[in-house]
């Protein structure tokens, strides 16, 4: 059911690669809720993914941008504001990649150039998008910027590798930039810490199926799906959450607050 929560709002959605992407679901919901928006992804992903199909469904266009390049982000904001006919009300940062994780490097044998790349793509890009937006005054008052995180920022998950540091930096940027942007332009900045989700980025983690199932058993409500995550993102883009900023918000069926569950006790007792 649609509620017109984003009627008249304009935004940018990064990170839709294919129909499993969290950003893909956010785009469909944003459309349903009355928003107009631009889709973007790295030029290489445009060749591999299916983003043009999504653009057609959402009756919008794709503007390529590598989120690690400030000049690409500047052009993205400039062209988006022109195409949408005004400043933005929301931005979704749904970007993550670690060459170390992708190439199966053990945490005790990290390649440091790749570590820097993981941080640049998955965390500093968030700062770059915020700083560029502020400098260009690209976002309206009470606009909302959301990044997607994972609980490996707070707890260890062996195979998550250097992405754990990337997520810790991402969440810290949401606090620091949220403080600054809230005071200067009343723009809100938050991260959502999402359950394991079956997407290209998610399933790239070694042993993903096991930790998906473990999280499912450890969450009283079960794992939150990509579609549920999209609903939560929409609520953060809406005016219903206009005083929420600088938060890392767990969206995980209760996983982050669980000590042990009956499901795990059953499994361990066998
Ligand atoms: N899938 C999960 O289990 C899970 C859980 C919690 C958080 N997240 C986070 O959700 C976000 C979205 O990931 P997803 O699971 O939808 O997977 P996904 O693979 O569909 O999306 C990741 C996106 O990042 C884009 N990207 C990579 N490098 C880029 C660059 N330089 N510039 C611009 N875009 C770039 C990719 O093209 C892709 O579209 C990521 O931040 C991820 O870490 C995922």
Catalytic residue (choose from 77, 107, 142, 160): 160
4 is a domain residue: no
SS (H, E, C) 75-102: HHHHHHHHHHCCCEEEEEECCCCCHHHH
Burial (0-12, 13-18, 19+ Cβ within 10 Å), 159: middle
186 is a domain residue: yes
Report pLDDT digits (tens) over 145-204. 999 999 999 999 988 999 999 999 999 999 999 999 999 999 999 999 999 999 988 888
Report pLDDT digits (tens) over 25-74. 999 999 999 999 999 999 999 888 799 999 999 999 999 999 999 999 99
126 is a domain residue: yes
User: CA torsion sign, 137 to 44 to 38 to 89?
Assistant: negative
Q: Whose CA is nearest to atom 5 of ligand 1?
A: 196
Q: Which residue range forms the structural domain that includes residue 84?
A: 10-269
The reply to whether 232 belongs to the active site is no
What local confidence, expressed as pLDDT, does residue 19 receive? 95
- Ligand 1 centroid, distance to 96 Cα (angstroms): 4
**Which CATH number goes with the domain that contains 134?**
3.40.50.720
Catalytic residue (choose from 150, 181, 212, 214): 150
Nearest to 51 by CA among 78, 15, 22: 15
Report pLDDT digits (tens) over 65-112. 999 999 999 999 999 999 999 999 999 999 999 999 999 999 999 999
1 is a domain residue: no
54 is a domain residue: yes
Pocket of ligand 1, beta carbon within 6 A: 14-15, 17, 21-23, 41-42, 45, 66-68, 94-97, 121, 148-150, 194, 196-197, 199-202
- Which residues fall in the annotated binding site? 15, 21-22, 95, 167
2 is a domain residue: no
5 is a domain residue: no
- Which residues fall in the annotated binding site for NAD(+)? 15, 21-22, 95, 167
Q: How many domains does the chain have?
A: 1
203 is a domain residue: yes
């Amino acid at each position: 059911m649609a509620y017109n929560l984003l009627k008249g709002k304009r935004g940018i959605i990064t990170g839709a690669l294919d129909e499993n992407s969290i950003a893909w679901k956010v785009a469909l919901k944003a459309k349903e809720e009355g928003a107009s928006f631009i889709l973007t992804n790295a030029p290489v992903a445009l060749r591999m993914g299916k983003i043009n199909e999504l653009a057609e469904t959402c009756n919008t266009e794709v503007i390529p941008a590598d989120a690690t390049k400030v000049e690409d982000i500047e052009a993205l904001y400039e062209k988006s504001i022109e195409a949408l006919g005004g400043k933005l009300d929301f931005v979704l940062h749904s970007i993550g990649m670690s060459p170390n994780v992708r190439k199966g490097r053990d945490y005790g044998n990290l390649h440091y150039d790749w570590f820097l790349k993981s941080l640049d793509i998955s965390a500093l890009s968030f700062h770059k998008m915020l700083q560029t937006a502020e400098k260009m005054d690209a976002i309206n008052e009470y606009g909302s910027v959301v990044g997607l995180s994972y609980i490996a920022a707070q707890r260890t998950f062996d195979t998550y590798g250097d992405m754990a540091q990337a997520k810790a930096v991402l969440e810290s940027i949401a606090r620091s930039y949220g403080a600054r942007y809230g005071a200067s332009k009343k723009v809100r900045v938050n991260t959502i810490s999402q359950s394991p989700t079956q997407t290209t980025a998610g399933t790239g983690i070694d042993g993903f199926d096991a930790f998906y199932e473990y999280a499912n058993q450890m969450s009283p409500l079960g794992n939150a799906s990509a579609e549920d995550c999209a609903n939560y993102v929409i609520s953060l883009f809406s005016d219903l959450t206009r005083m929420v900023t600088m938060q890392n918000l767990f969206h995980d069926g209760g996983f982050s607050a669980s000590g042990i569950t009956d499901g795990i006790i059953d499994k361990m007792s066998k």
